Chains A and B, each alone.
Chain A
């Protein structure tokens, strides 16, 4: 459905996007993650034909974007970061305009009704867009991307500015859409990405820092398994007993819960389950476990690890400090 090869965008000596490649099959949902200035929006602008890449190739449904942009754009629906709206039009008029732009010729009325129903905005169809709340505006932004039922949807932060109930609704809409559409979405809200996306690309400094499913990403970054355990007993004895359990690499008290009860962080080797030996050893020593919880890395931890490890290399930081700033200016000028 989408094929991207060696995509590069340079602004003078600065490479905003540096040779990224990926492919997406029909019905896949891809999440773009990355800190501000990582090149997400630049990549999305190139995918939608707004920016011409310096190098590389983009194919949408097999059509080369540089060869036949008009035809390729017919298969695209795009929601930019700021939802595009004409405030002086009613919702219905605006969608009609979108239909004409996207060359929906037959059944314009039905198409508008379908989209209004899908996003649950039938009740505001006759109202002026400028009088609507932020949540509705965002949904109308998504609505215009859906006009003409395009094969590929590119959504730049689709749930920004919505309340939790609406976020869930939009998430459900995206899941429903993923049955017939290929979707690329970018987001800062990490649980959202892990909930909706089949695959995640973490971008940093114009390059793909990591790409995999949310599950695999978190797994590959787990270098040890951590348990959070509440144990009753004198602290020194507990520390001594726990560290004698085979597989435990470190143990440290975290906080006191009540008298003689502490919470400990116990780390073990990654491929070893230390819960059973821990339980029996402590039971034998008459030190009851009151609570035990396995801590997992969240996608957030992975994201921070990937993006901060690279940022803190001192020479790199020095090298990249100035271009980073220039990049953000360039982007602002573009908008």
Chain B
């Protein structure tokens, strides 16, 4: 298993450049703005209501976070070195996915300071906050799997970013289309709606269906990536 080897290398790529710092910084800036704005207006010492908005910020960040995972390797000829080594494609894909997920996790970890601040101010209900964190983490994992897939499609970082942004936007819009359709088509739309599954987490419910949905969503996109890379190399 070389997942950790690949993951470590990608983490170095993130943190040796300014990329991870800028992305985490951007995330904190906007989430901090939502946080302050909510506190001042609502005067309620809790944060679970604004955490849903963070998902939207992350929709913009994911394409940039994941765009170079595979494109960079192709540009520098690393794909040939990696795949002529005794490494399986699965390990490579999982390693890269894990690296992006860890950067995302690091950003979420810093936002725990908001929870500490509201705990100092009042007496927030920690349950819904914890379940919201779990939901956000799963949602982020689904987003990142889409980004990983997009980055394996092309050699160009910008194109990869545009593809993953379009896909994520499509899933977001599917959420808005919910009310329009009825019957079978509504089931289809609901299947695509990544955001809807987050709602129970926000109200403090750890929904098993949601967990399974996000995990399968992630698995499908990672499997697609593995298939795609295998078909490109081992054809």
- Using A51-B234, A86-B76 as known contacts, say yes or no to A97 and B86 having CB atoms under 8 A apart: no
User: Total A-B pairs in contact (CB under 8 Å)?
Assistant: 75
Residues on the A chain within 8 Å of B234, using CB: 50-52
What's the Cα separation between A335 and B88 when bound, in Å?
19
Specify which of B77, B88, B235 is in contact with A84 (CB 8 Å cutoff). Answer: B77
- Using A85-B76, A86-B9, A86-B76 as known contacts, say yes or no to A76 and B81 having CB atoms under 8 A apart: no
Q: How far apart are A183's CB and chain B's nearest CB, in angstroms?
A: 15
What's the Cα separation between A98 and B17 when bound, in Å?
21
Q: Is the interface of B mostly helix, strand, loop or mixed?
A: helix
**Chain B residue at minimum C-beta to C-beta distance from A144:** B81
* B12, A84: Cβ atoms closer than 8 Å: no
Which of B80, B83, B88, B235 counts the most chain A CB atoms within 10 A?
A: B80
Q: Is the interface of A mostly helix, strand, loop or mixed?
A: loop
Q: How far apart are B60's CB and chain A's nearest CB, in angstroms?
A: 24
Q: How far apart are A49's CB and chain B's nearest CB, in angstroms?
A: 6
Given pairs A52-B235, A89-B16, 13 additional interface contacts (CB within 8 A): A49-B84, A50-B233, A51-B234, A71-B86, A73-B85, A80-B80, A84-B80, A86-B78, A88-B13, A98-B81, A101-B5, A101-B85, A101-B87
Kindly state whether residue A182 has any CB partner on chain B within 8 Å.
no
Residues on the A chain within 8 Å of B80, using CB: 45, 48, 50, 78, 80, 84
Which B residues from 54 to 81 make CB contacts under 8 A with A?
A: 74, 76-81
* B83, A87: Cβ atoms closer than 8 Å: no
Binding site for A on B (CB under 8 A): 2, 5, 8-9, 12-13, 16-17, 74, 76-88, 232-235
Residues on the A chain within 8 Å of B2, using CB: 100-101
What's the Cα separation between A101 and B84 when bound, in Å?
10
Kindly state whether residue A267 has any CB partner on chain B within 8 Å.
no
A-B contact pairs, 7 of them (CB 8 A): A48-B80, A50-B84, A84-B81, A84-B82, A86-B9, A102-B85, A334-B232
What's the Cα separation between A86 and B13 when bound, in Å?
9
What's the Cα separation between A335 and B83 when bound, in Å?
13
